[in-house]
Amino acid sequence: MQGDLLVREEILRLKEDRQAIILAHNYQPAEVQDIADLTGDSLELSRAAATMDGDIIVFCGVDFMAETATIISPEKMVLLPAQDACCPMAEMITADELKLVKSRYPDAPVVCYVNTTAEVKAESDICCTSSNAVKVVNSVREDRVIFVPDRNLGHYVQRFTRKKILPWEGFCVVHDQITPNHVREAQALHPGAIILVHPECRPEVIDLADHVASTSGIIRHVCNSVEKEFIIGTEVGILHRLVLECPTKKCFPLSQTAICRNMKKTDLRKVRDALISLQPRIIVPEEIADRARGAIERMLAV
Ligand code: 13P
Ligand code: SF4
């Protein structure tokens, strides 16, 4: 579209003037991914926020991602172009609820998925993402860990550790609606295709998968595989990167309705407006950020 082209040019000019970097999650709309300096999974974007040059980060994703960037780079200005882009799973546990669980299991450290509020991170010992959850859990000394908030990721990690996982009952509204029936239907349509799923899927879906990985892990697997056809069990925004980075492979969504509405709230106009007004800016109160930083830095060190 002509209008989009102009907005794109404006963004590139403003980005230069402001010395800003644009980070986009793999689930972002295609046109947003296309103007980003880096598109990646939660861990790659957290690392980039901590290390990339630039005074301003425009975070095209959901609120906990922008909060994490603010916590690890407090000297940078972090903008979330779609102010109301949240992660419903992150809202499924509060800091007070976590304090209650901690009082029941005082010897168990808390591993929190990065999909949590800053307040919950502040109450946690170490953070993890989908790509390092097993490593993080195995890195703690204790024999049992409180794992919040994703029960499915908790169950997945349990397969690879001798430690006892005490999972919170949260879930991702997008991945949890994928069922074994979706897998059977997709297999009937694409016999022989390799099934790749995200660890936020239910255990019974994980059981049917050939490979389980974070969003960027899925992309790497497709690009490096000798196979030609893949069924992709995660949010459909990932298909854009798969087409760009693995053009010789055929990728089919496991569920056409696996769409994260919050990830789709960002558009080019909101990115441009954020660069003009330097709003909406994500601020995390210093006292909470200081406590949450420990959990994130411990994860980045693993
Ligand atoms: P990744 O870290 O694998 O990109 O996942 C983030 C997320 O929100 C998945 O729903
Ligand atoms: Fe949250 Fe699920 Fe959306 Fe990821 S896909 S941001 S976990 S609701």
- The structural domains of the chain, with segments of one domain joined by +, span 2-85+263-283, 90-171, 180-253
- Ligand 2 atom at shortest distance from the alpha carbon of 90: 1
pLDDT value of residue 2: 62
Of 140, 71, 68, 131, which Cα lies nearest the Cα of 111?
140
pLDDT value of residue 1: 65
**What whole-number distance in Å separates Cα of residue 215 and Cα of residue 234?**
8
- Identify the residue whose tokens are 């990690």: 157
Q: Is the dihedral of CA 172, 177, 182, 183 positive or negative?
A: positive
- Ligand 1 atom at shortest distance from the alpha carbon of 175: 10
Residues 270, 71 contacting (CB under 8 angstroms): no
Domain formed by 180-253, architecture: 3-Layer(aba) Sandwich (3.40)
Check if 7 has its Cβ closer than 6 Å to any atom of ligand 2. no
Mean pLDDT split into 10-residue runs, the chain, 302 residues: 86 96 98 97 92 94 97 96 98 98 98 98 98 98 98 98 98 98 97 98 98 98 98 98 97 97 98 98 97 96 93
Share of the chain above pLDDT 70, in %: 99
With the most atoms of ligand 2 within 8 angstroms of its CB, the residue from 26, 41, 62, 218 to mutate is 62
pLDDT value of residue 76: 95
Average pLDDT of the chain is 97
Cα torsion 278, 281, 286, 290 to 10°: value is: -100
CATH of domain 90-171: 3.40.50.10800
- Ligand 1 atom at shortest distance from the alpha carbon of 213: 3
Pocket of ligand 1 (CB under 6 A): 26, 41-42, 115, 129-130, 172, 198, 200, 214-215
Surface-to-core class of residue 137, CB atoms within 10 Å of its CB (0-12 exposed, 13-18 middle, 19+ buried) = buried
**What whole-number distance in Å separates Cα of residue 136 and Cα of residue 183?**
29
**What whole-number distance in Å separates Cα of residue 217 and Cα of residue 197?**
10
Residues 190, 231 contacting (CB under 8 angstroms): yes
- Identify the residue whose tokens are 């007070």: 96
CA 13 / ligand 2 centre spacing (Å):
31
On the question of a common fold for 2-85+263-283 and 90-171, the answer reads: yes
Tokens of 284: 């995390």
CA 253 / ligand 2 centre spacing (Å):
16
The domain made up of 2-85+263-283 has a fold known as Rossmann fold (3.40.50)
CA 47 / ligand 2 centre spacing (Å):
19
Neighbours of 144 (CB within 10 A): 14
H/E stretch holding 57? strand 56-60
Q: Identify the residue whose C-alpha is closest to ligand 1 atom 3.
A: 214
pLDDT value of residue 203: 98
The bridge status of strand 194-197 relative to strand 250-253 is unpaired
- Ligand 2 atom at shortest distance from the alpha carbon of 88: 8
Q: How far is CA 246 from CA 30, 34, 181, 228, 236, in A?
A: 15, 16, 27, 10, 16
The torsion angles phi and psi of 244, rounded to 5 degrees, stand at: -70, -45
User: What's the pTM?
Assistant: 0.96
Tokens of 128: 């993890």
pLDDT digits (tens, 9 = 90+) for 161-193: 999 999 999 999 999 999 999 999 999 999 999
Q: Identify the residue whose C-alpha is closest to ligand 2 atom 2.
A: 172
- Ligand 2 atom at shortest distance from the alpha carbon of 62: 6
Neighbours of 217 (CB within 10 A): 18
